[in-house]
Structure 1
Amino acid sequence: MELDIFSDVVCPWCFIGKRRLEAALAERPQPGLVTRWRAFQLNPGMPSEGMDRQAYLELKFGGADKAAQLYRQIAEVGEEVGIAFAFEKIRRTPNTVNAHRLIRMGAAVDREDAVVEALFGAYFLHGRDLSETGVLVEIADEAGLDRLEAAEFLTGDAEREAVESEDLNGRQAGITGVPTFIVNRRHAVPGAQPPEVLHKLFDLGREGAPAANQA
């Protein structure tokens, strides 16, 4: 069975969705499940160097006060799944193309989940700037990738076109928000759904037509 997760590393609900997915799999393991993290950019027009967080909040939410109210609600949900969001530490909102490229590099050596986890933690727990190549190299190292290979990879353009195509394909398929979980390329559910909803999604995948590597 295949699970595709469209996500962005600056989306707090995607981090929450990851924890809820982990809880669902702990409750009801899915032997043979192949998981792939798919690129989606919440801010596709973001400058490559990112932008000041306060300026971003003004554009996105109409000000820091409105954003703070929303983030308080997200933080409460985060606490329920063991995430101590530290939104106050975030100083810049990054362009996430290179972060998505790093996820693809990790996937090639079976470190995809570790890279995704490290990126979420770096941004939401420590406020690190994911626009900076040096920061991404450190995250790659923390996730078990070769530091020098990651530096060379990130300073080039490998997987950039694939990331942009994946994002575009998701939008053309009707994805407007993340996370979105898709089983066997047939059954989709948007949002950071609780484990019981994910169980039903997996049941649909098991009962429906198998994907190429259905287990």
Structure 2
Amino acid sequence: MTAPSLTIDVVSDVMCPWCYIGKRRLEDALAEVRNEFDVEVRWRPYQLDPTLPKEGKDRKQYLEDKFGGATGAEQAYATVRAAGEEEEIPFAFDKIKVSANTLDAHRLIRWAGSLGLPAQHQMVELLFKAYFEDGKSLGDDAVLIEAAEQVGLETPVVERLLSGDADRDTVAAEIDQARQMGVTGVPCFIIDMQYAVVGAQSAEALADAMRKIVASRGKEAAGNDNG
């Protein structure tokens, strides 16, 4: 008997620490259900702040402006640090100098997908690590090209694509589509394009949502057979 299969579209922004935490929890959930059904994970773009310039803004000032001062910013990130420790993510927020526009990073994730979903997954991981653990700017072409090389994309091709507008409109349209679908916060896990789990929910919650979708399919099939 063939195992049931699911798709999960992860709407995410690589400058969002909760998305990094959500990625870890999703991986734990996938490990939990791996003997029950097959899951195909696709990464979809989102921008928390599309107004940021490519070269970025001073991150300390940016967060203080966003959270109403240094105390507000520290309080907001205390929860993130605690959740990161639980997932064994060594957040190094002090290393991050700038918050940059992530559109080019999302273009890179899209191109990595041309090599297959495992390469796309690896690209997302590399960008999260570069930003949150190494403090690198996601708007720096050198950082993006280094990640591209690690997943097997050809450097001259990536350099040429980054210097132009390839897929810029496509990625922007995907972000708009997510907003039109009602996505206002990330991460958002859309299971089988019908059931959304919003926020960095626990691995148990994600696994439970997957099981519910598979179970509901079984009920529908039984209902159709009886009809």
Runs of 4+ in 1 over 6 A off after TM superposition: none
Distance in 1 separating the partners of 2:75 and 2:151: 33
Task: Work out whether 1:162 is the aligned partner of 2:170.
Answer: yes
| Separation in structure 1 between the aligned mates of residue 56 and residue 108 of structure 2, nearest angstrom | 17
| One-letter amino acid matched to 2:14 | V
Q: Which residue of the partner structure matches residue 31 of structure 2?
A: 26
Counterpart residue identity of residue 146, structure 1 = E
1:87 aligns with: 93
Counterpart residue type for residue 16 of structure 1:
I
Does the Cα contact within 8 Å between 1:95 and 1:130 map onto a contact in 2?
yes
Matched, 1:144 2:152: yes
CA distance in 2, matches of 1:69, 1:144: 39
Partner of 2:113: 107
- Residue 126 in 1 paired to residue 131 in 2? no
1:171 — aligned with what?
179
- Name whichever of 165-174 and 66-75 sits farther off: 66-75
**1:24 corresponds to which letter in structure 2?**
A
In terms of fraction of residues, the more helix-rich structure is: 2
The aligned amino acid for 1:165 is A
Question: Is the radius of gyration larger for structure 1 or structure 2?
Answer: 2
Letter of the structure 2 residue corresponding to residue 5 of structure 1 = V
Q: How far is the alpha carbon of 1:157 from its aligned partner?
A: 1.2
TM-score normalised according to structure 2 size: 0.88
List runs of 5+ in structure 2 lacking aligned partners. Answer: 1-5, 219-227
Measured after TM superposition, the shift of residue 162 of structure 1 is: 1.3
Distance in structure 1 (CA, Å) of the matches to 2:155 and 2:71: 39
Question: Which ranges in structure 1 are unaligned for 5 or more consecutive residues?
Answer: 211-215
- The higher relative CO (CA closer than 8 Å, separation ≥ 6) is in 1
DSSP-derived class of the 2:38 partner? coil
Q: Let me know the Cα RMSD of the aligned residues.
A: 1.5
Q: Which moves more between the two structures, 155-164 or 172-181?
A: 155-164
- Counterpart selection for 2:125 from 103, 117, 124: 117
What's the counterpart of residue 61 of structure 1? 67
CA displacement at 1:50 relative to structure 2? 1.7
Cα deviation digits, residues 81-120 of structure 1 (max 9, x gap): 1101000000000100000000000011111001000000
Paired position in structure 2 for 1:17? 22
8 Å CA contact 1:14–1:179 kept in 2: the answer is yes
- CA–CA separation in structure 1 for the residues paired with 2:51 and 2:10: 22
Could you tell me how far 1:209 is from its partner in structure 2?
Answer: 5.1
Equivalent residue for 1:213?
A: none
- Describe the SS at the equivalent of 2:137: coil
Q: 1:209 to 1:46 in 2, by over 3 A?
A: farther
Describe the SS at the equivalent of 1:33.
strand
Pairing 1:171-210 to 2, within 5 Å after superposition: 171-208=179-216
CA separation in 1, counterparts of 2:137 and 2:106?
14
How many residues of Structure 1 are paired with residues of Structure 2 in the alignment?
A: 210
Supply the AA of the counterpart residue of 2:11: F
